[in-house]
């Protein structure tokens, strides 16, 4: 039931503040993550993890890409990420102590399941982060952490993605204890996670300005999405959402790659969406934005605060509430979901059932 909402996608976008609380439900005690939430064998497995290999498809793959930044930056644990359809068909080298993490909303994605089955005998253990209890991936994995986002009906994945990000951070914390992450750091991050319902609610309050921004896209045929660091996968996800439901051709790029090709595409007909939180990459990112402006590209920026980036001729800025660096990928996802939603509504496409796509890809 869509309730008061016009589409399931919109309803699911708006469920995210509650979902952010649901993923944590029963998994936290005294400011720490309970490792038994991952399964009875969790302690033995986490004690032995030397690196992480993440395998997933589509939006779930983008969540995995964000986690790579977290695993390597926060706890210094090597982390590789690959799309399942490539991983399963090449000769992969699996090192000793590898925890395979599969990410999937449905738990039935054929390639992801096949990837798990293929390397089962070579890995330390498998952990599935999944939204559907009792699904194939959950049944076939050694450990699992349910994302508890509730059924996702819209083909475009929204709440499943942000709940995967929270689940991945929880995973990072329990493994991180063995790799120098202090109890204080863990507590701080848990507090940040507990603030997500409030923070994401504040983001959803920005719906009106995002909707107004969407009008600039309705007549466009192409769009670029830029981000740096852990926001690069968010740019990819923003582009995927737009192409999936509005059929506008969109590409996500790490902003530093502009000069290496995509800048050639930039002109007044190429809107450039940028996720630009107030972090140490902001100055670099601003330089990239200048490059776009100099070629007449129109900028649509989601920024950390009004002081750092202001709307001006050729650049519309929407400022988001301040948040800690680790929360940025989660927080900046929401306005991009809203943007693609409103563009699709303006274009009159079938938001919940985009052409040619299925919710669950159970055949390769």
Active site residues per annotation: 359
Nearest Cα neighbor of 243 from 220, 226, 266 is: 220
Find the residue with minimal CB distance to ligand M6R: 58
Q: What is the DSSP string of 129-182?
A: EESSTT-HHHHHSSEEEE-------SSS-SHHHHHHHHHHHHHHHHHHGGGT--
End-to-end alpha carbon distance in the chain: 30
Name which of 105 and 278 has its Cβ closer to ligand M6R. Answer: 105
Contact residues toward ligand M6R (CB under 6 A) are: 57-60, 104-106, 109, 112, 155-157, 244, 360-361
Name which of 203 and 361 has its Cβ closer to ligand M6R. Answer: 361
Name which of 292 and 339 has its Cβ closer to ligand M6R. Answer: 339
List Cβ neighbours of 58 (8 Å cut-off, separation of 6 or more): 157, 240, 361
User: Reduced to 3 states, what is the DSSP secondary structure of residue 103?
Assistant: strand
* C-alpha torsion angle, residues 198, 29, 33, 143 (rounded to 10): -110
CA separation, residue 266 to residues 258, 292, 300 (Å): 10, 7, 14
Name which of 236 and 319 has its Cβ closer to ligand M6R. Answer: 236
Closest approach of ligand M6R to the CB of residue 67, in Å: 14
């Amino acid at each position: 039931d869509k309730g008061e909402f016009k589409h399931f996608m919109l309803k699911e976008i708006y469920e995210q503040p509650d979902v952010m609380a649901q993923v944590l439900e029963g998994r936290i005690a005294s400011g720490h993550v309970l490792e038994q939430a991952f399964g009875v064998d969790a302690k033995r497995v986490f004690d032995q993890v030397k690196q992480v290999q993440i395998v997933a498809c589509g939006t779930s793959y983008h969540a995995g890409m964000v986690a790579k930044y977290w695993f390597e930056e926060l706890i210094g644990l090597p982390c590789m990420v690959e799309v399942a359809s490539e991983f399963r068909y090449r000769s992969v080298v699996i090192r000793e102590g590898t925890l395979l993490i599969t990410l999937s909303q449905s738990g039935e994605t054929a390639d992801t399941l096949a990837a798990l089955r293929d390397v089962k005998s070579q890995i330390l253990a498998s952990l599935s982060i999944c939204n559907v209890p009792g699904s194939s991936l959950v049944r076939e994995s050694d450990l699992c952490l349910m994302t508890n986002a509730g059924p996702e009906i819209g083909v475009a994945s929204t709440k499943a993605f942000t709940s995967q990000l929270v689940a991945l951070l929880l995973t990072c914390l329990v493994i991180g204890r063995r790799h120098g992450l202090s109890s204080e750091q863990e507590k701080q991050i848990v507090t940040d996670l507990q603030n997500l319902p409030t923070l994401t609610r504040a983001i959803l309050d920005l719906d009106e300005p995002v909707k107004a921004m969407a009008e600039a896209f309705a007549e466009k045929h192409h769009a670029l999405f830029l981000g740096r660091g852990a926001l690069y996968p968010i740019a990819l996800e923003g582009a995927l959402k737009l192409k999936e439901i509005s059929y506008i051709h969109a590409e996500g790029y790490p902003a530093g790659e502009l000069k290496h090709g995509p800048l050639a595409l930039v002109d007044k007909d190429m809107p450039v969406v940028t996720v630009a939180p107030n972090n140490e990459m902001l100055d670099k990112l601003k330089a990239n934005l200048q490059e776009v402006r100099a070629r007449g590209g129109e900028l649509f920026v989601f920024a950390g605060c009004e002081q750092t980036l202001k709307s001006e001729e050729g650049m519309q800025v929407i400022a988001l509430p301040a948040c800690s660096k680790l929360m940025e990928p989660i927080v900046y996802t929401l306005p991009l979901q809203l943007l693609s939603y409103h563009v699709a509504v303006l274009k009159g496409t079938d938001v919940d059932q985009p052409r040619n796509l299925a919710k669950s890809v159970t055949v390769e």
